[in-house]
Structure 1
Amino acid sequence: MPAKVGAVKVNNVSSSSIFNIGDVYSMSPVSSAKTFAGGGSFNTGDGIRINLNQSNTYVYDKDIVDQSRSE
């Protein structure tokens, strides 16, 4: 059944989003990210105490491109 769409105002569409008006069969946005962080980086909560003494994060990534971008 066709969609009935009224007035639409779009202020912003970011680079990692999909914007569609009307009927659609399938929408599948794709994104990827690589994050490097040291010990204790992603802790959340109240009253957390972390003692790492010495913490090093070594990153060796010989790939220039990890995933090809297709548009």
Structure 2
Amino acid sequence: MPAIVGVVQVISIGSSAVFHIGDVYSITPYSTAKTFAGAGSFNTGDGIYVVNQQSNTNTYEQDGIDMPIAFTL
């Protein structure tokens, strides 16, 4: 079903990002990334107060592949 879209302003878009308006059959990623961060790392805003006395970020995983993108092109 077609969509009517008003004004759209795109400030920036990443090199492997997808920007789509309207109908779509398939959107697939061309790259993957895994991010590890400790407690309170991605908090944003004014006056954030984080109390974290002992933090440990475990980065070991047994599986070798989380989401393969070999045949998504």
**TM-score, with normalisation over the residues of structure 2?**
0.50
* Unmatched 5+ stretches in structure 2: 1-14
Q: Which structure 1 residue ranges, 5 or more long, are not aligned? A: 1-13, 19-24
How far apart are 1:33 and its partner, in Å? Answer: 4.3
Q: What secondary structure sits across from 1:39 in the alignment?
A: coil
Taking structure 1 as reference, are residues 39 and 33 closer, same or farther at Cα in structure 2, changes over 3 Å only? Answer: same
Q: In structure 1, what is the equivalent of residue 52 of structure 2?
A: 52
Report the counterpart of residue 67 of structure 2 in structure 1: 67
Identity among equivalent positions (%) equals: 48
Corresponding residue for residue 35 of structure 2: 35
- What is the number of equivalent residue pairs in this alignment? 53
CA distance in 2, matches of 1:36, 1:28: 29
Equivalent in the alignment of 1:3? none
Flag the 1:27–1:16 CA change in 2: closer, same or farther, 3 A: farther
Length-normalised TM-score, structure 1: 0.51
| 1:36 and 1:59 in contact (8 A); partners too | yes
CA deviations 1:13-67 (Å, max 9, x no partner) are x34448xxxxxx7442223543322111121110111121121111221222212
